[in-house]
Amino acid sequence: MADERSAAGREDDALRATLAAEHAAVWGYGVVGAALPPEGRAPAGAGEQAHRDARDRLAALLDERDADPVPAEAGYTLPFPVLSAVDAAALAVVLEEGVSASWAALLDAAGRSAVRLLAVDALGAAEVRAVAWRVAAGRSPVTVALPGLAGT
C-alpha cells in the first residue's frame, strides 16, 4: 500500500504543480490583455478564461481527493518587460509553454485515466493557443514537435 500511496501522492504533487502554473497563467493573461489594443484583446480574454476553467477543474480534483490545493501567489515576476503587442504575444507564448510543461509532467505522474484525459486535452488546447501567439509574436516555426517536453 505504501507504493499505492506514493503513486497517488505523486499524482497529487503534479496536480498541485499544474494548478500553480494555471494560477500564474491567469495572472499573466491580465498583463497580456493590458498590453494589447482594445480591439485585439479578444484572444487574451479567451485564453484567460480557458486558464480560469483549468484552474477550477484542478482545484476541484484536488478537493475531491482531500488534497490541499495551492493558492495563487501574491505576486509574479514578468520574464521581460511587456510594452507592446509583440511583447504581449511573446509573454502569452511563455505562459502557454509553461502550463504545457506542467500538463506533460502530470501525464507522466498520473495514475488515473480520467486525469490523463483532462491533461491531454489541456495540453492540446494550450499548444493551439501557443501557435496563435507565436504567429502574433512573429515566431517561426509557429509549431513545436513535442509541446511540454524538454529539448523540443
Partner 1 sequence: MSTSSPAGFSRRRLLAGATGLALLAAGCTSGGQDDAAAETAAQDDRVAGQVPVQESVVAAYDAAAVADPALGGRVAPLAEQARSQLERLREAVPDATSSASSPAAAPPPGADVLGWLRGQVAAAATSHATACVDAAGARAALLGSVAAGLRGHEAALA
For residue 82, the surrounding DSSP H or E stretch is: none
Rg of the chain taking only CA atoms, in angstroms? 16
Residues 57-116 that bind partner 1 (CB under 8 A): 64-67, 100, 103-105, 107-108, 110-113, 116
Contact 75, 98 (CB under 8 A): no
**Neighbour-count burial of 144, counting CB atoms closer than 10 A to its CB (0-12 exposed, 13-18 middle, 19+ buried):** middle
Identity of the residue, 26 or 110, whose beta carbon is nearer to partner 1 in the bound complex: 110
Q: Does 133 bind partner 1 (CB under 8 A)?
A: no
Q: Does 39 bind partner 1 (CB under 8 A)?
A: no
Least distance to partner 1 from the beta carbon of 58, Å?
15
Identity of the residue, 73 or 108, whose beta carbon is nearer to partner 1 in the bound complex: 108
- How far, rounded to the nearest angstrom, does the alpha carbon of residue 17 sit from its chain's CA centroid? 10
> What is the separation, in whole angstroms, between the first and last Cα of the chain?
37
Q: Does 123 bind partner 1 (CB under 8 A)?
A: yes
Neighbours of 16 (CB within 10 A): 19
Q: Interface residues with partner 1 (CB under 8 A)?
A: 1, 3-5, 7-9, 12, 64-67, 100, 103-105, 107-108, 110-113, 116-117, 119-121, 123-128, 130-132, 140-149, 152
